[in-house]
Every structure is written in C-alpha cells, then in structure tokens.
Chain A
Amino acid sequence: MEQRYFEDIEEGSEVPTLRKDPTPQQLVKYAGASGDFYQIHYDVNFAKNNGLPDIILHGALKNAFLGQLMTDYVGFDGTLKKLSCQYRAMDIPGTPVFAKGTVVKKYVEENENIVECEIWLENEEGQKTTPGYAIVSLPNRS
C-alpha cells in the first residue's frame, strides 16, 4: 500500500475514489458478518412489502465503505481519528456506489498532522446518498 504524507496534501485535493459494486450476495455476507439480519437487506418480497423498491444496502455497510475509503487514504502509518456519516437516501445492490472525498483543511495540532475531509457515497447518477466527514492524521515524509 502506498503511503501518503502530510507534506504532499493540499487543501481542496481529492481523496482517491473507491468504487464498490455491492451485490445481493455481498449483503448476505454482510448480514452474516455483522449480525444484522433485518430482511429488507436480502429478502426482496419482504422489502417490497415494506414499501421499498428493492432490497437496500445496510447503512452500516455504507459506513464501512467510507471507512475503507479513509483507511486506504491514510495507509499503514496514518490514523483514522473520526468518521461520521448520515443516511440521506437508499442504495440498492446491482449498481455501483462511489466513495469519494475532498480535503477541507490541514493543520498541525499537538504535534499531530491533521487532515479533515468531506466524504460521501454517491450513486451512478451522482446523487450523494451518504454524506460524511473524516478526520485523519498523516505521517511526515522526513
């Protein structure tokens, strides 16, 4: 994994996009791994009877995608300090989702190199279904 360094980060720069292609199978795997067996995530009839168009992604899975976006960004030597998101719209499996981010500010605080990022998940239409925020620390190059 390529290491990213504090010196190289510019405010306004992008967090490299992470594309995910969630499938019904992935939702089943996530249900099993997380213990969240609410049927709207894998039973189409159940989902439709609850007024949903299809089975939908677990909010927590979308949270996990944003987590991956940031742990990829910080590499082995950086640290994820804060991660938040809001579930504004549903995402359905079978279409890709894109985890993205932009650096909002960078500064040094108590000897830590802090980078704050606006992050979000967007669907194929470019709609931000899951906006969020992340605070990380990055190592110095030297």
Chain B
Amino acid sequence: MPESESVITQEMRDAVGVESDPVIYDIEKGAIIRFAQAIGDDNVIFNRENDARKTRYKGLVAPPTFLRSVAHVETPEPKIKVSSPYPANVDGGSEWEYFEPIHAGDTITATTYLSDVHERQGGRFGNMLIMVRETKYVNQFGNVAALQRTTGISYQPPD
C-alpha cells in the first residue's frame, strides 16, 4: 500500500498537553460501596469501613476503575477539541496508572488533555491515526493519584 499523506494537523499538535478546566469530585463512601457491589467485588477494603481500617489503607478505598464512574457525573471538557478526518473508529483500549489510593472522603480534581497523536502506516487499513487522551486525577494534597489513558484509532475504510 502506498504511503498516505499525514493527516496530523498543526491544531492537533498544538492541542497536545493543553489541560481542560478542572472538574472536582467528592469521593463518597456510599458511591464506592455501590460500585463495588455492582461489579461484584466483595473485597473488604472496598466494602466495609471497619475491616478496611485494620488494613494499611486505614479506611475504605476505591476499586481500580471507580474513577471512571465519577467522571460520568460531569466530564472535564477538552480545551481544544480535535477530531480525526477518518470516519471509522476503533477503541484502542484503556490504561490506568496508579500512584496513590483513592480514599472515601477525598476531593479529586480531574483534568483531561490530548497526550499523544501519531500515525501508523502500512496496516490493513493503510494510514491509521492514533490519538491518546489522558485524564489526570489529583487529590486534595496536590498529588497525582491516577492517570487514565484511552486510545482512539481511526482510519479510512477501504472502498
């Protein structure tokens, strides 16, 4: 397949790393417990305050993917919205990186931004545009508690 022209625009490059306005979430104990029950995880650190206190967490903490549920309340909106010129999209997956536990009672500030944009040539679909969006969750002590990356892959379907 011939090399296609790059579809990465200056606007996309300029958008990389530009953080959205922050959205603030109060991490509620009840929301954590409901989430743990919904996913069917009976680990005491997510469900029972008294037992969780006896662990090194000293209280209830959130399961690994809990933060993506608080983000449904109000989602941080990217400052610069960029979209792919290609019509077909594939979910390239999700990635979490954890630095600090999320405790019940925490106040978490979330911002989102385009963290990477690049292309991959030569696959089944010719040129593929890969955009990685990152959401950063910072706790009330100013520490990054978690990073969430979602990768979107877009391409021009063959005729």
Contact = CB atoms under 8 A, between A and B. Distances in A.
A51 interface: no
A20 interface: yes
A81 B63 contact: no
Interface residues of B, number: 29
Contact of B94 (A29, A80, A85): A85
Contact of B41 (A32, A64, A85): A64
B69 interface: yes
A115 interface: no
A85 B93 contact: yes
B56 A87 contact: no
Interface string B61-92: 00111001100110000000000000000011
Q: Closest 7 interchain pairs by CB?
A: A35-B72, A67-B64, A86-B93, A33-B38, A84-B95, A34-B69, A29-B38
Interface of A: 1, 20, 26, 29-30, 32-36, 59-61, 63-65, 67-68, 70-72, 76-77, 79-87, 132
